[in-house]
Structure 1
Amino acid sequence: MTLQYLLFDPSDDGEGTGTWDAMASVRAEQLPEVMNEVKAVLAWAEQHSPGPRGPLDDGGAWDADHLVQAEGDWTTVTLTLTGPWAWGEALVAHFGD
Protein backbone atom coordinates (compact mmCIF):
# COMPACT_ATOMS: atom_id res chain seq x y z
CA MET A 1 0.00 0.00 0.00
CA THR A 2 1.34 3.40 -0.98
CA LEU A 3 0.03 6.27 1.10
CA GLN A 4 -1.93 8.82 -0.90
CA TYR A 5 -2.84 11.27 1.86
CA LEU A 6 -0.48 10.93 4.81
CA LEU A 7 2.94 12.48 4.19
CA PHE A 8 5.49 11.88 6.95
CA ASP A 9 7.94 14.52 8.11
CA PRO A 10 10.74 12.85 10.13
CA SER A 11 12.87 14.36 12.86
CA ASP A 12 15.78 12.68 14.66
CA ASP A 13 16.73 13.44 18.26
CA GLY A 14 20.37 12.52 17.58
CA GLU A 15 20.24 9.63 20.03
CA GLY A 16 18.57 6.99 17.86
CA THR A 17 14.95 7.99 18.44
CA GLY A 18 12.79 9.62 15.82
CA THR A 19 9.44 11.27 15.44
CA TRP A 20 7.37 10.98 12.27
CA ASP A 21 4.52 13.46 11.86
CA ALA A 22 1.93 13.11 9.11
CA MET A 23 -1.02 15.31 8.28
CA ALA A 24 -3.80 15.22 5.74
CA SER A 25 -6.57 17.76 5.22
CA VAL A 26 -9.49 16.38 3.24
CA ARG A 27 -13.17 16.84 2.52
CA ALA A 28 -15.64 14.52 4.26
CA GLU A 29 -15.93 12.10 1.35
CA GLN A 30 -12.17 11.39 1.50
CA LEU A 31 -12.03 10.85 5.27
CA PRO A 32 -12.63 7.07 5.11
CA GLU A 33 -9.62 6.71 2.79
CA VAL A 34 -7.41 8.70 5.15
CA MET A 35 -8.59 6.69 8.14
CA ASN A 36 -7.81 3.47 6.24
CA GLU A 37 -4.26 4.77 5.81
CA VAL A 38 -4.03 5.54 9.55
CA LYS A 39 -5.24 2.02 10.35
CA ALA A 40 -2.75 0.47 7.92
CA VAL A 41 0.17 2.43 9.39
CA LEU A 42 -0.80 1.53 12.96
CA ALA A 43 -1.25 -2.14 12.01
CA TRP A 44 2.23 -2.20 10.46
CA ALA A 45 3.66 -0.46 13.52
CA GLU A 46 2.06 -3.05 15.83
CA GLN A 47 3.12 -5.99 13.66
CA HIS A 48 6.74 -4.78 13.47
CA SER A 49 6.82 -3.43 17.00
CA PRO A 50 10.33 -2.83 18.39
CA GLY A 51 8.95 -3.45 21.88
CA PRO A 52 6.07 -2.38 24.08
CA ARG A 53 3.92 0.54 22.98
CA GLY A 54 3.71 3.43 25.38
CA PRO A 55 5.28 6.75 26.24
CA LEU A 56 9.05 6.52 25.83
CA ASP A 57 9.54 8.22 29.21
CA ASP A 58 7.53 5.41 30.82
CA GLY A 59 9.55 2.58 29.23
CA GLY A 60 7.70 2.21 25.95
CA ALA A 61 9.72 1.40 22.84
CA TRP A 62 7.36 3.27 20.52
CA ASP A 63 4.14 5.22 20.62
CA ALA A 64 1.55 6.73 18.30
CA ASP A 65 -1.06 9.43 18.55
CA HIS A 66 -3.67 10.52 16.04
CA LEU A 67 -6.17 13.32 16.05
CA VAL A 68 -9.13 14.13 13.82
CA GLN A 69 -10.39 17.73 13.71
CA ALA A 70 -13.26 19.00 11.54
CA GLU A 71 -13.46 22.63 10.56
CA GLY A 72 -16.08 23.65 8.03
CA ASP A 73 -15.86 21.48 4.91
CA TRP A 74 -12.40 20.18 5.80
CA THR A 75 -11.20 17.52 8.21
CA THR A 76 -7.57 17.40 9.31
CA VAL A 77 -6.08 14.10 10.41
CA THR A 78 -2.71 14.07 12.16
CA LEU A 79 -0.67 11.00 13.03
CA THR A 80 2.52 11.10 15.10
CA LEU A 81 4.79 8.12 15.68
CA THR A 82 7.84 7.99 17.94
CA GLY A 83 10.32 5.18 18.29
CA PRO A 84 13.69 3.85 17.19
CA TRP A 85 15.00 5.61 14.10
CA ALA A 86 15.55 2.43 12.04
CA TRP A 87 12.04 1.16 12.83
CA GLY A 88 10.38 4.41 11.77
CA GLU A 89 12.41 4.67 8.60
CA ALA A 90 11.45 1.07 7.74
CA LEU A 91 7.80 2.01 8.25
CA VAL A 92 8.07 5.02 5.95
CA ALA A 93 9.94 2.97 3.32
CA HIS A 94 7.27 0.25 3.50
CA PHE A 95 4.56 2.73 2.61
CA GLY A 96 6.58 4.34 -0.16
CA ASP A 97 6.79 7.84 1.33
Structure 2
Amino acid sequence: MKLHYLLFDPSDDGEGTGTWDAMASVRASQVPEVMQEVQAVLDWAQRHSPGPRGPLDDGGAWDADQLVQTEGDWTTVTLTITGPWAWGEALVAAFPPSEN
Protein backbone atom coordinates (compact mmCIF):
# COMPACT_ATOMS: atom_id res chain seq x y z
CA MET A 1 0.00 0.00 0.00
CA LYS A 2 1.33 3.43 -0.91
CA LEU A 3 0.86 6.22 1.59
CA HIS A 4 -0.66 9.44 0.29
CA TYR A 5 -0.59 11.44 3.53
CA LEU A 6 1.80 9.96 6.07
CA LEU A 7 5.54 10.37 5.55
CA PHE A 8 7.85 8.70 8.07
CA ASP A 9 10.90 10.42 9.51
CA PRO A 10 13.22 7.88 11.18
CA SER A 11 15.61 8.37 14.08
CA ASP A 12 18.01 5.78 15.45
CA ASP A 13 19.10 5.65 19.09
CA GLY A 14 22.38 3.98 18.10
CA GLU A 15 21.55 0.87 20.12
CA GLY A 16 19.28 -0.95 17.68
CA THR A 17 16.02 0.84 18.50
CA GLY A 18 14.37 3.35 16.23
CA THR A 19 11.53 5.82 16.24
CA TRP A 20 9.48 6.59 13.14
CA ASP A 21 7.36 9.74 13.24
CA ALA A 22 4.73 10.51 10.62
CA MET A 23 2.43 13.51 10.46
CA ALA A 24 -0.33 14.64 8.14
CA SER A 25 -2.22 17.92 8.31
CA VAL A 26 -5.45 17.78 6.33
CA ARG A 27 -8.93 19.23 5.91
CA ALA A 28 -11.82 17.45 7.65
CA SER A 29 -12.91 15.66 4.46
CA GLN A 30 -9.49 13.92 4.25
CA VAL A 31 -9.32 12.72 7.86
CA PRO A 32 -10.96 9.32 7.11
CA GLU A 33 -8.32 8.62 4.44
CA VAL A 34 -5.49 9.52 6.81
CA MET A 35 -6.98 7.32 9.52
CA GLN A 36 -7.18 4.43 7.03
CA GLU A 37 -3.45 4.83 6.45
CA VAL A 38 -2.79 4.92 10.21
CA GLN A 39 -4.85 1.76 10.70
CA ALA A 40 -3.08 -0.03 7.83
CA VAL A 41 0.32 0.77 9.36
CA LEU A 42 -0.82 -0.36 12.83
CA ASP A 43 -2.30 -3.57 11.38
CA TRP A 44 1.02 -4.34 9.65
CA ALA A 45 2.92 -3.62 12.87
CA GLN A 46 0.68 -6.01 14.81
CA ARG A 47 0.86 -8.77 12.17
CA HIS A 48 4.66 -8.55 11.99
CA SER A 49 5.16 -7.81 15.67
CA PRO A 50 8.68 -8.44 16.99
CA GLY A 51 7.17 -9.14 20.41
CA PRO A 52 4.64 -7.68 22.82
CA ARG A 53 3.37 -4.16 22.25
CA GLY A 54 3.97 -1.78 25.11
CA PRO A 55 6.40 0.82 26.40
CA LEU A 56 9.95 -0.35 25.82
CA ASP A 57 10.88 0.63 29.38
CA ASP A 58 8.21 -1.80 30.62
CA GLY A 59 9.39 -4.74 28.52
CA GLY A 60 7.49 -4.06 25.30
CA ALA A 61 9.19 -4.87 22.00
CA TRP A 62 7.43 -2.09 20.11
CA ASP A 63 4.87 0.61 20.70
CA ALA A 64 2.82 3.18 18.82
CA ASP A 65 1.28 6.47 19.78
CA GLN A 66 -1.35 8.32 17.80
CA LEU A 67 -2.47 11.90 18.29
CA VAL A 68 -5.27 13.74 16.47
CA GLN A 69 -5.60 17.50 16.94
CA THR A 70 -8.07 19.82 15.23
CA GLU A 71 -7.49 23.53 14.91
CA GLY A 72 -9.94 25.48 12.80
CA ASP A 73 -10.38 23.80 9.41
CA TRP A 74 -7.27 21.63 9.79
CA THR A 75 -6.73 18.31 11.53
CA THR A 76 -3.22 17.09 12.30
CA VAL A 77 -2.67 13.36 12.74
CA THR A 78 0.62 12.23 14.24
CA LEU A 79 1.74 8.60 14.43
CA THR A 80 4.90 7.59 16.30
CA ILE A 81 6.19 4.02 16.21
CA THR A 82 9.10 2.75 18.29
CA GLY A 83 10.78 -0.64 18.03
CA PRO A 84 13.73 -2.61 16.73
CA TRP A 85 15.48 -0.78 13.90
CA ALA A 86 15.28 -3.58 11.29
CA TRP A 87 11.59 -4.18 12.03
CA GLY A 88 10.74 -0.49 11.71
CA GLU A 89 12.65 -0.17 8.46
CA ALA A 90 10.70 -3.17 7.10
CA LEU A 91 7.47 -1.45 8.17
CA VAL A 92 8.39 1.76 6.35
CA ALA A 93 9.45 -0.22 3.26
CA ALA A 94 6.01 -1.87 3.21
CA PHE A 95 4.39 1.57 2.88
CA PRO A 96 6.24 3.61 0.26
CA PRO A 97 5.10 7.19 -0.32
CA SER A 98 2.80 7.84 -3.24
CA GLU A 99 4.24 9.64 -6.23
CA ASN A 100 1.25 12.04 -6.19
TM-score (structure 1 length as normaliser): 0.99
Deviation at 1:96, TM superposition (A): 1.1
User: What is the one-letter code of the residue matched to 2:2?
Assistant: T
Q: Secondary structure at the match of 2:19?
A: strand
Matched with 2:39 is 39
Matched with 1:89 is 89
User: What is the one-letter code of the residue matched to 1:72?
Assistant: G
Residue deviations 1:3-55 (CA, integer Å, cap 9, x gap):
00000000000000000000000000000000000000000000000000000
User: What is the one-letter code of the residue matched to 1:94?
Assistant: A
**Cα distance in structure 1, aligned partners of 2:17 and 2:26:** 30
Residue deviations 1:40-79 (CA, integer Å, cap 9, x gap):
0000000000000000000000000000000000000000
**Cα distance in structure 2, aligned partners of 1:89 and 1:33:** 23
| 1:55-94 alignment runs, 5 A limit | 55-94=55-94
Same amino acid, percent of matched pairs = 85
Spell out structure 1 runs of 4+ moving beyond 3 A: none
User: What is the one-letter code of the residue matched to 1:49?
Assistant: S
Q: CA RMSD in A?
A: 0.5
Unaligned stretches of 5+ residues in structure 1: none
